[in-house]
Each structure stands twice: as structure tokens, then as C-alpha cells.
Amino acid sequence: MAKKRKSKSNFSKPKRWFWTLFLLTAFSIPLVFLLASFGVFGPMPDHTALENPRTNLATEILSSDGVTLGKFYYEDNRTPVGYDELPRHLVDALIATEDIRYMDHSGIDSRGTLRAVFKLGKDGGASTISQQLAKQLFHGEGSKNTLGRITQKIKEWVIATRLEKQYTKEEIIAQYFNIYDFGNNADGIRSASRIYFGKEPTDLNIPESAMLVGMFKNSSLYNPRPKRNPVGTKNRRNIVLSQMAKYGFISETKKDSLQATPLNLNYKPESHREGIATYFRAYLKEFLKGWVSQSENRKPNGDKYNIYRDGLKVYTTIDSRMQTLAEAAVTDHMKALQAEFFVQNTKKRNPTAPFLELEDEEIQRLLNLGMKRSERWRKMRYDLKKPVSEITASFKKKTPMKVFSWTAPNNEIDTVMTPMDSMRYYKSFLRAGTMSMEPQTGFVKTWVGGFNYKHFQYDMVKQGKRQVGSTFKPFVYAAAIDQLHLSPCDTFPKAQITIPAMKFGNMKPWAPKNSSNNYAGFETLKAALANSRNTITARLMNEIGPQPVINLAKSLGIEQSLPAVPSIALGTPDLSIYEMVAAYATFANKGVYTKPVMVTRIEDKNGTLLYQFSPETRDVLSEEIAYVIVNLMEGVTKFGSGQRLRHNFGKNQAVYKEIVTGYPYEFDNPIAGKTGTTQNQSDGWFMGMVPNLVTGVWVGGEDRATHFKTITYGQGASMALPIWANYMKGCYAIEALGISKEEFEKPEVLSIATECEQYNPEGETDMINEVLTPEIDF
């Protein structure tokens, strides 16, 4: 009997061990998950964090035609997209490669987990897409020791199941694509699509989708750029294509054909210094900094918005098509104009190149001033606290650097020179700026502050202020016609006039000359503005004085302080393109000034409206006076200094063709405009208007001593007008832009005569072949 009891005891002992182990395991696994959820193994995200995962989102700048102009970000260039913006084959590639049972599990793939345990991870770690998202959102790379990896995996399981409860399968996939860092500032699928292939995610094809999914394994290793690992990336892409064929997403035949294709990268890095509208984006950054600093523009919790992390959407008035055309017009013309400038300013022809009229001492003083304004000086003096002597010496020491060049690939060459020599080199380049605006709405359609933001960061649209020359004359004419009730057909003598000293605050007598030295006879106001006759402008100023002109200019949006002296009539004030375009737009808008608008609205990442513009307008001139000034400026393009928009320019046509593209332009639609050239050909301007678009262009050197020696190339009609002409030709080629070719609308009541042929017996239109000399002559 004893033996039987012993046998029974031996039989029941293994059973007890089995059931004990089974029950311990059964209870311990949920207990471990429960402890993990309580944060015993480390902090866990609460439901708020799961609902709103903390990711840095770039602020996106959108054009009026829906194109992304650029983004503001510190480290994460991320703009999220929705699941419906992901092509089906991109999702298929992800599921086939990363988690084939994704649609069937609830965050943890039990089959894959058991396989990973029994095979010790040799066939992969069995992380589901939900687990990988949990890792990306809340844990990053994690621990390197075994215990740490185990606890991290447990936490990922818990978070993955919570994510599956919180979101749909589609939402989890979208989040995973949006969170991943694809390298090269490509944070998220949208940036990756744009940077590697130059397209939106919805436009990706199958091999492109496969390449990007392949990068999930290791974006640093599988980097497709030529100097990184294009071969490895292609091999990884082909593995993804094989997985897609294995699970029936594509056929074997299609897989074979796609695997034979190259990567076909269209690499377009996104940075603050590249892309279109770079100068506008720099302006916009300061605008947004001002907007977020205002107390009324806060988050619901009272915090300030962060333009680099909060994923704002900024809707602008810029039209990407027009912006591209404007930038191309500036680039094409400036490249040709600069080539001619270099020909005229060789050391043999001009020992003080690129400067004219300056002695060596003046040049050195100019360079020293530039040195103290440079970024190098600022960093060494104020950041590194270096002594002045050491800083000055560093400017004379040769150093390797990249400098701008019109003729080099990517407009950049590697060279060795002293920082002082590089300053002189950069001062030899002519600069340019242009801006377009709809006069009726105030919407700014283009903003080109220069031709290369990386090397020339000073914005010539709003920062830069230069003498405006004869483009100021319409303000004088408008004030005079308004006050004296004149007509464009009224005639004035071309003879010189002297305004006595102290009459209007001028310290000495003022007697401007005509550039043509033509003083005989009389001329209508219409012909006088067309031919930019200085003496007749001076007569108008003598009649009304400078103060009414200043008052009008201020009402037209001129922000700069203007001296109350007669010489302002010929454009001595330094003004910006921004101010001039807004002022001229008032004439095209029937006398109503509209403040320029660059941003129409701002939204947060959820689409909540945070800002919407309010138009700012004011009546400045009567509709009749505004139309008369427009009519006067139409004469400029018909038979005055802007005539080359319509005609070949006589004996100078061959010379003109050498420095401009697209000439002759042969416009046949109504155009109002005004050229401007300042003393010594330092600044060239053209202001051009059609009924629904006003554009201003300026060209000149950084320093006034950098200029053409002769008027052939140095006048506004040669320096600035071609940019306007080529830009407008491009605009007219895109019918969808709706740029008007119609007549400027006449007022219903027009009591002032504007058709002046009967008042012009001396044939002033014979002046059309005159090459204008500088329109300022002090």
C-alpha cells in the first residue's frame, strides 16, 4: 500500500509544477503589462499624449495657386498628410515589407512574436507597424542592454494596443509615414517625396514608393544620393518590390521590369536659402515673428505659437507661376548685363574697377565700412570677443571659400582669396529687385529681392532704398494737375528755369538741365513726361512748391521722410520698390490707395483660422486725376523713354540686342509706365502698369560708385525695363493668369482733355529716337 501512495505522489508532482508554471505565466503576463501601463518600467504616455502626439511640424508657406513656396523649421522639416493623400501602392509596399498581417491584429502580431522567440530574432523582431509608430513617437532608439530592450518592447506592446484603440488602421499608417525621418531634411513622407522626387506623395509611382518604404529599415544606410549609397538603396528597393510580388500586390512580371529601372531621383533639397521666393520668405519670417509676439495671437493655453514647430499654414498672395517668371526674367537679364559690365570694368579699362570716380583712399574707406558691417566682423568681434587688430588681420589672410559666379555650375566656384578681396569682388555685381501687385486688391503677386539669396541676402524690394530718379515725376504731375487744374495737353516752355535760393527752403538757386540740352520751343505735359523733360517738371514744382508733392506722396504710401526742397521733383529721395509699386497702384486703382497684402490667412495644424487680413484703403485722388496720370504714362511707352516696349530702337537696336533677351518686345496692348535713371547711371528703374497689375523694377550696384560709364547701358530703359518686358511676356503666355490687355477704364465723366495731337504742332513725337541721358542733373 505504501508503494502505491508513493507512485501516486510522484505522478501528481509534475502536474502540480506544470499547472503552477502555467498559472504563474498566465497571471504574470497580464501583470507585467498592467505594471507597464502604470509606469513601473518607465514613463508612459497618457491619453492626452496619445490623442495629440508631440511632434515638431514645420510651418508651411503656400502660394495663392496652392503651391508650397517653402517651410520654416529648425530640425524637423515635417508637414503631415492624410491617409487619402497616400497612393495605394505606397501603403501596399509598407504592409508587404513591414507587417503583412497588419489588418488582422490589434497592435501585436502573436504569430510573428512566437516566431521571433523560437528563432531568437533571426527572421526579424516581429515589430508591427503600430509598435514601430509607438517607438518613433515615444521611445526613439531605446536601451542597449538586454533588460532595457525587454522592458522597452513591453512598453511598445502596451502603447501599440492603445494606439489601435485610439486610431483607425488608416490613421496609424498615415502617422507612421508622417513621423519617419527619411534623411536629408526629409522628415515625413511629404518632405521625402518632394526632396527625392520633386513631387507630392499622391504622385509617387510604384518604384518610388518602394524606395521610400525600403528606407524605413535604415535611412542613414539606404541613402539614395549619388555620394552616399545609391546601389544599396536600389537593392533595398528591389527587396520591397519582391515582397510586394510575394504577397500578390504586383505580378512577378511587373516586379522584374520594375527592378530593372534606375532610381530616377529628382533630388531637390529644401532649405531656407533654396527654392523660389527666398527673399519673400525671409520677409515673411519677420512678419510671422511679429505676429506671434502680439498678445492677442496666442494658443488657447496662453503660450506663444512657434513658427518652427507648430505646423502653421500661411496662405500668401504670391502666385508661384508669376514668381517663377519674375525670377527667370531677373536672372536672364542680369547675367547678360553683368557680362557687359565686366567687359567695361577690366583692370586695363578701369584701374579702380568696379568703382568709378573714386580715389584709392575713398575705395579703402568704402571697403573698411563694408568690413565692419560684415557677418565675419560681427561674429569675431561680438561672439568670439576678438581684438580689432586680429579681426582686421584676418580680412587680409587668404582663405578657401565659395563665391558667386554667373558662369559656374550652380553659380558657385571654389576659390582662395582674402575676405577683403571677396568684398570687392561682390561689390562688382549689379543687383536687382522687382515686385508685382494687383492694384484693386493690394495682393502682392511677386517679390524678387535679388537673384541669389545664398550669396546676396539683402532684400532690394523692401530693405533696399535707392534714388528713384524720374519715376518720382508722376507724383509732381499729379499734384500740379490736381491743384492747378491742368491738362496733359497744356504746353510749357522747355527753356531752363531757376528757382531762387530759399524760395522753398533750398539753400542755393536750383536750375536743372535737360539731358538732351534741348531748350527750344514748347512742349505739352504729355510729351514732357514721355521725354522726361527736367525743366518742365521744375516749372511745375515752381508753381506749387514741394509740400503738396510731399503730402501726396505720403498719401500714396511713401514711408520715407522727404525733404521739402524742389530737387525732390527729379527723384532725389531714396525709396523702396515696395513703396513705389503701392504708390503707382493708386493711379491704376482710380485714385484709391490699397496697402500691399502678402498674407491672406494663417491656420494652425488643425485648420483653425488664426489670422485673416483686413484690407486697408483710402481715397487719395479723384478718379479723373488718377486716369489722367495713367494716360500721361501711356505716352511714355508710346513715344517716350519706354517706347522700346513697342518698337525697334533705331540705330541702337544692335547694341540693345546684345544685353537683353526677347527684344524687340512689340507689345501692342495699353501700357502705362515710367523709366528712371539717376546721376552717373547709378540706378535704373522702370515702373510698368496694365489695368490689373503694377510692377516695379530696380537695377544698380551695391554702392553708387559701381555703375556703367555711359548711358547706352546705364539708363533705366536698358537696365530695368527688359526685366519688366520679359516677365510680362511670360505672364501673357499663361492665359490662366488673366493679366489684362484691355484699355485702362475711363471715368464716366472726363472733363480734362487727354488726346493732345492738335496741341503738338512742333512734332514732339519726333523725339522717339533720342537716347536719354541721366534724368537727374544737380
**175-204 pLDDT, tens digit each:** 889 888 898 888 889 999 999 998 999 999
Q: Which range among 8-12, 483-487, 490-494, 581-585 has the greatest average pLDDT?
A: 581-585
Predicted local distance difference test score (pLDDT) of residue 270: 79
How many percent of the chain have pLDDT more than 70? 83
Predicted local distance difference test score (pLDDT) of residue 38: 45
Q: How far is CA 31 from the centre of its chain?
A: 56
User: Of 156-170, 340-354, 369-383, 762-776, which gets the smallest average pLDDT?
Assistant: 762-776
| 430/711: higher pLDDT | 430
Predicted local distance difference test score (pLDDT) of residue 271: 77
**Structure confidence by residue, pLDDT tens digits, 379-435:** 898 888 889 999 999 999 999 999 999 999 889 999 999 999 999 999 999 999 999
Predicted local distance difference test score (pLDDT) of residue 103: 81
CA gap 435, 601 in Å, rounded:
21
Predicted local distance difference test score (pLDDT) of residue 125: 52
CA gap 240, 559 in Å, rounded:
61
Residue 548 has pLDDT above 50, yes or no: yes
Q: How confident is the model at residue 656 (pLDDT cuts 50, 70, 90)?
A: low
b/e burial code for range 186-211 (CB count within 10 A of at least 16 → b): bbbbbbbbbbbbeeebeebebbbbbb
Predicted local distance difference test score (pLDDT) of residue 712: 85
Residue 610 has pLDDT above 50, yes or no: yes
Length of the chain: 778
Predicted local distance difference test score (pLDDT) of residue 17: 65
Listed residue (392, 365, 399, 398) closest to 377, CA to CA: 392
| 115/75: higher pLDDT | 75
CA gap 487, 504 in Å, rounded:
25
Predicted local distance difference test score (pLDDT) of residue 165: 74
Predicted local distance difference test score (pLDDT) of residue 141: 52
CA gap 544, 564 in Å, rounded:
12
Predicted local distance difference test score (pLDDT) of residue 660: 65
C-alpha to C-alpha distances, 287 to 56, 476, 554, 597, 605, nearest whole angstrom: 21, 33, 23, 12, 19
Residue 606 has pLDDT above 70, yes or no: yes
Residue 760 has pLDDT above 50, yes or no: no
CA gap 433, 454 in Å, rounded:
15
Residue 117 has pLDDT above 70, yes or no: no
CA gap 5, 135 in Å, rounded:
56
Mean pLDDT, rounded, for 272-286: 91
Mean pLDDT, rounded, for 145-154: 57
Predicted local distance difference test score (pLDDT) of residue 275: 85
Residue 754 has pLDDT above 50, yes or no: yes
Predicted local distance difference test score (pLDDT) of residue 314: 97
Q: Which residues contact 276 (CB under 8 A, 6 or more apart)?
A: 69, 70, 320, 323, 324, 327
User: Is residue 664 reached through a cis peptide bond, with omega within 30 degrees of 0 on the bond before it?
Assistant: yes
Average pLDDT of the chain to the nearest whole number: 85
**Structure confidence by residue, pLDDT tens digits, 462-511:** 999 999 999 999 999 999 999 999 999 999 999 999 998 888 877 789 89
CA gap 217, 737 in Å, rounded:
45
Mean pLDDT, rounded, for 540-551: 96
Residue 652 has pLDDT above 80, yes or no: no
User: Is residue 691 reached through a cis peptide bond, with omega within 30 degrees of 0 on the bond before it?
Assistant: no
- Asked if 70 contacts 271 with a C-beta cutoff of 8 angstroms, the reply is no
**Amino acid present at 140:** G
CA gap 685, 381 in Å, rounded:
38
| 153/205: higher pLDDT | 205
Residue 121 has pLDDT above 60, yes or no: no
**Structure confidence by residue, pLDDT tens digits, 334-390:** 999 999 999 998 888 888 989 988 888 999 999 999 899 888 898 898 888 889 999
Query: In terms of DSSP H, where are the helices of 505-545?
Result: 525-530, 534-544
Q: How confident is the model at residue 774 (pLDDT cuts 50, 70, 90)?
A: very low
Predicted local distance difference test score (pLDDT) of residue 474: 97
Mean pLDDT, rounded, for 616-642: 94
Residue 331 has pLDDT above 80, yes or no: yes
Residue 759 has pLDDT above 70, yes or no: no
Mean pLDDT, rounded, for 301-322: 93
CA gap 711, 682 in Å, rounded:
10
Mean pLDDT, rounded, for 541-560: 96
- Asked if 297 contacts 611 with a C-beta cutoff of 8 angstroms, the reply is yes
Mean pLDDT, rounded, for 704-708: 92
Q: How confident is the model at residue 79 (pLDDT cuts 50, 70, 90)?
A: confident
Neighbours of 274 (CB within 10 A): 12
| 165/212: higher pLDDT | 212
Predicted local distance difference test score (pLDDT) of residue 309: 87
| 626/775: higher pLDDT | 626
Neighbours of 296 (CB within 10 A): 5
Mean pLDDT, rounded, for 119-127: 53
Mean pLDDT, rounded, for 521-544: 93
Q: Label residue 485 exposed, middle or buried (CB < 10 Å: 0-12, 13-18, 19+).
A: exposed
Phi and psi at residue 710, to the nearest 5°: -120, 165
Q: Label residue 168 exposed, middle or buried (CB < 10 Å: 0-12, 13-18, 19+).
A: exposed
Q: What's the grid cell of residue 477?
A: 504731375
Q: How confident is the model at residue 661 (pLDDT cuts 50, 70, 90)?
A: low
User: Of 10-19, 293-302, 402-411, 599-608, which gets the smallest average pLDDT?
Assistant: 10-19
Q: How confident is the model at residue 561 (pLDDT cuts 50, 70, 90)?
A: very high
Q: How confident is the model at residue 60 (pLDDT cuts 50, 70, 90)?
A: very high
Q: What's the grid cell of residue 241?
A: 518590390
Predicted local distance difference test score (pLDDT) of residue 458: 93
